[in-house]
Structure 1
Amino acid sequence: MTIPDRDWPIPRSAYVHVPFCRHRCGYCNFSVIAGREDLIDRFLDAIDRELAPLDRPVVDTLYLGGGTPTHLPNDRLARLLEILQRRFRFDDAVEWTSEANPEDVDTEKLRVLSEYGVNRISLGVQSFQTAKLKRFERNHSATQATRAVEQAAEVIGNVSIDLIFAAPGETLRDWQADLRTVLDLPVQHLSAYALTFEKGTPFWNARMHGQIKSVSETTEIKMYESTRHLTAESGMAQYEISNFALPGFHSRHNMAYWLGRGWFAAGPGAARFSEGRREVNHRSTTTYLNRMERGESPVAETETLTQRQSARERAAFGVRMIDGIDLTEIGRDTGVNLWSECAAEIEQAITVGWLERSEDRIRLTPSGLLFADAVAAELLP
């Protein structure tokens, strides 16, 4: 049984995927394309065409991801932003985020973003350590990253940084140095992720052939605990497994994902969730462009969720938030009683000390934060 349309609010968030990059980093498994700037104009035409049927919905959050949106030349970036202004209507308090790489950021580019309404920037710094940046195949230096943060803070104001820890050969002291550097900069938000080895990436293949080695689980845990400790000392509150923010600066766009709200999406590899249906566009940029130019759907995968699937997915993603998730509220929205549906899984997680219950909410315990993926997997349908 699928969920009736009336049970699904119109999405208030949108994601646009910009696939262009200078090059593909060894750990990256996203839908990106390097060295094909000749496709940019075709891509912009395709985005405009894909969004046209939406009839200008109102959005509270808009996120430009990639790839690297700021890799676009300024005139093409302005055209993309103009397209989005035409295809969406913005809430007065809209959160409009653009991802950026430090080597692309300068005052002129930032002013283009700001003039069209972008009011939050997410910088893919990953590290301020020279050796680690080289290992990650990043093109920027620590100096460039610092300058990009300072320029973004001056022009945009709301700055988020992505960092990766548990890199091959990284020590706890190295990671703490990265954290202290960030926390001394004008940054309102930090996303800190442990390195994952995605199948098919150069990093995955190198590890399989013994050319690089993961850090120990003990070291990774110490790095994570250090992240929680140092961010708290600096006044950043942890609000999700990997996300920390000063008061009032959490990512509203990501909250829409974790709370199971719908969102629009466009671009190669983009995934949308609307009216109980999940759709994923073709990951290949050229295939996406060809389909759009032939007037065909860019969608490669489609799934219509049942009430049970929707409820359990909301619980699985929502439990990653530090405040946890209200299962009774999910039940009101979907008609599925998760206290009964997931009784065994919840009781087991509480017994081993990974979950705790407070009235209608479940939340991860401090030790449960280290096993969040396992808890989420048990809650999934």
Structure 2
Amino acid sequence: MPAPAPNVYAPPEGEPPRAVYLHVPFCQHRCGYCDFTLVARQDDLIPQWLTALGNELQRLDRPYEVDTIFVGGGTPTHLNETQLEEFFQLIRSHFNLSENGEFSIEANPDGLTDSKLTLLQQCGINRISLGVQSFDDDVLQVLERTHRADEAQEVIHQCSEFIPDVSLDLIFGVPDQQLELWQTTLETALSLPISHVSTYGLTFEKGTAFEQRRRAGDLLPVMDDVERNMYAFAIDVIPESGRAHYETSNFAMPGHECRHNMVYWDASEYFGFGPGAARYVNGVRSTNARNVTRWIRDWLENRDSLQDHEVLSADARAREAIYLAMRLVRGLNVPEFETRFNVSLTELVGNEVTHHIEGGMLEVVDGWLRLTREGRFVADSVMIDLV
């Protein structure tokens, strides 16, 4: 008989998490490559979602002070201003943001008005991540985005007047995208008032419209060497603009790294609420139901709505910390790791580390184990070997 699911809302046993993620699962349109937890054109569900979210948040034993709040989606700014105000009130009722804390929200370039940005500013948002994806209209059309390149540039300038930290998401490796188009997109991005940029290679996730079109031969991925060259261009050129490469896909001005995501990469614990949200509390990783209507239905009846959970062993925690740290350009601080997890890195993964050092994929510099430049191009396979 399977063990009962742990109470994932139990009070933290030690130092409580200092980060919280909240998921807003609404969009105007689902892009063909997107496999995130969301519903499109179902705004009638928003009031029920707000009630359900309030019920889930009530499972906390008390309000908590946190250093980072991240609102993701979906498109959180798809909510109208009245709904956003109610949403932020729920957050304020259960979480206090520490002084100089980071309060991030995801947004798309379309639909951001001065009035809505003023509301975000008044509610404490100090970092906005814009899903721009490209500054080429043909690429945007392939990606099924609903904004134009010139609109995105205007919105970036607009956001910078209200919110101190503006970040962009960009996608490379789009079908029919040439290296020159990617170079132009990056050059445009780096000329804008942004403190942070994330670059992601396009993936064809199972169940997405893009994956179905790829199998049908209607949409062909770019060649591996083209995608590699695009990534190489990004990691070479973006740092020249003063935005340092600090994680596999992320670049930031000094002091403007995404502090919330650093919580994940440092293998620290965090709260999570909303459909599809993940959390890590008391050594238990759990994920909420990804089906939005199921999650709403469950929480309207005050029932936990979990997709899965895993109680991590000491060994699993240590291995996961290695895997996550390898995403960071700085890598893993070996002495700190061995103290934190009371384990020898050599005993745990010594053979694998030696193999990849000899192969030129890993290096140790001043006590830090990290990927080499060449290792960055095969990071996933190297990291899998270490876990």
- Indicate the TM-score class for this superposition, using the shorter chain for normalisation: over 0.9
Match of 1:142 in 2: 149
Cα offset for 1:7? Answer: 8.7
1:294 is matched with 301
- Shift of residue 328, structure 1, vs aligned partner: 2.8
State the one-letter code of the partner of 1:66.
Answer: G
Give the letter for the 2:279 counterpart.
Answer: R
Name segments (4+ residues, structure 1) moved above 6 Å. none
Question: Per-residue deviation at 1:9?
Answer: 3.3
Q: What TM-score does the superposition give when structure 2 sets the normalisation length?
A: 0.95
Structure 2 partner of 1:304: 311
Match among 44, 52, 55 for residue 50 of structure 2? 44
Among 359, 363, 375, the residue aligned to 1:368: 375
Within 5 Å, give how 1:73-112 maps onto structure 2: 73-112=80-119
SS of 1:103 mapped into structure 2: coil
Q: Deviations over 1:48-104 (max 9, x none)?
A: 111123211111000000000000011101111111011101110110000000002
- 1:66 matched to which residue of 2? 73
Q: Is the 8 A contact 1:278 1:304 kept in 2?
A: yes
Corresponding residue number in structure 1 for 2:354 = 347
| TM-aligned CA deviation for residue 317 of structure 1 | 0.8
TM-score, L = length of structure 1: 0.96
Q: Which amino acid aligns with 1:217?
A: D
Checking the alignment, whether the CA contact within 8 Å between 2:110 and 2:146 is kept in structure 1 is yes
Query: Does 1:155 pair with 2:162?
Result: yes
| Amino acid paired to 1:91 | S
Over 3 Å counting, the alpha-carbon distance change for 1:277 and 1:323 in structure 2 is: same
RMSD of aligned Cα (Å): 1.3
2:202 to 195, 198, 202: 195
Shift of 1:192: 0.3
Q: Which moved more, 1:187-196 or 1:325-334?
A: 325-334
1:128 corresponds in structure 2 to 135
- 2:329 corresponds to which residue? 322
CA offsets, 1:315-366, max 9 Å, x none? 0011110000113322222223222110111111101100001243200101
3-state SS of paired residue (1:104):
coil
Residue from 221, 227, 232 that aligns with 1:225:
232
Gaps of 5+ in 2: 1-10
Name structure 1 gaps, 5 residues minimum: none
Kept in 2, the 8 Å contact 1:312–1:338? The answer is no
CA distance, structure 2, for counterparts of residue 50 and residue 346 of structure 1: 42
3-state secondary structure, aligned to 2:276: coil
Percent identity, please: 40
What amino acid does structure 2 have at the position aligned with 1:220? Answer: E
Equivalent residue letter for 1:319: M
Instruction: Give the distance between the partners of 1:50 and 1:327, measured in 2 at CA.
Output: 38
